[in-house]
């Protein structure tokens, strides 16, 4: 377990993904949001969708879904979401990743 603010020698500091500010403000307005959810429940889903779309902008979501699910499972940390709910957030970040300024 890492300590907040601690930098591992020889490693580059990790930053939140570029769209995290948008999603941190937006997640409560999404149709899949449920009362009591926190941004931390969705963060890995948003990051997964965004990162995959940046790596492979031409991929179709349906064709990539199983790989997206596996990536989310490795990133989800303490998220309380199951894949059914996380999938919706992954998809929204995937869609926004195609044109972050146009959605």
CA 62 vs CA 12, 48, 94, 101: distances in Å: 34, 15, 11, 23
> What is the predicted pLDDT for the residue at 32?
95
Q: List Cα–Cα distances, 97 to 2, 30, 37, 57, in angstroms.
A: 29, 16, 23, 8
pLDDT digits (tens, 9 = 90+) for 8-64: 344 344 456 888 999 999 999 999 999 999 999 999 999 999 999 999 999 999 999
Q: What is the total count of domains within the chain?
A: 1
Residue 73 lies in a domain: yes
pLDDT of the residue at 10: 46
Specify if 72 maps to a domain. yes
Q: Could you tell me if residue 55 is inside a domain?
A: yes
Q: What is the pTM of this model?
A: 0.80
- Write down the H helix ranges in the chain: 20-26, 39-55, 61-75, 83-98
What pLDDT does residue 6 have? 38
Please indicate, yes or no, if residue 64 is contained in any of the structural domains.
Answer: yes
CB 42 within 8 A of CB 23: yes
**80 or 2, which is more confident:** 80
Domain, as residue range, for 39: 17-96
Is 92 part of a structural domain of the chain? yes
């Amino acid at each position: 377990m890492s300590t907040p603010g601690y930098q591992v020698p020889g490693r580059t500091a990790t930053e939140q993904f570029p769209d995290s500010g948008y999603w941190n403000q937006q997640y409560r307005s999404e149709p899949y949001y449920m009362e009591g959810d926190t941004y931390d429940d969705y963060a890995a889903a948003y990051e997964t969708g965004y990162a995959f779309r940046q790596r492979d902008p031409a991929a179709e979501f349906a064709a990539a879904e199983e790989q997206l699910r596996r990536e989310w499972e490795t990133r989800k940390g303490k998220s309380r979401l199951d894949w059914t709910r996380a999938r919706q957030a992954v998809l929204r970040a995937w869609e926004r990743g195609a044109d972050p300024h146009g959605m």
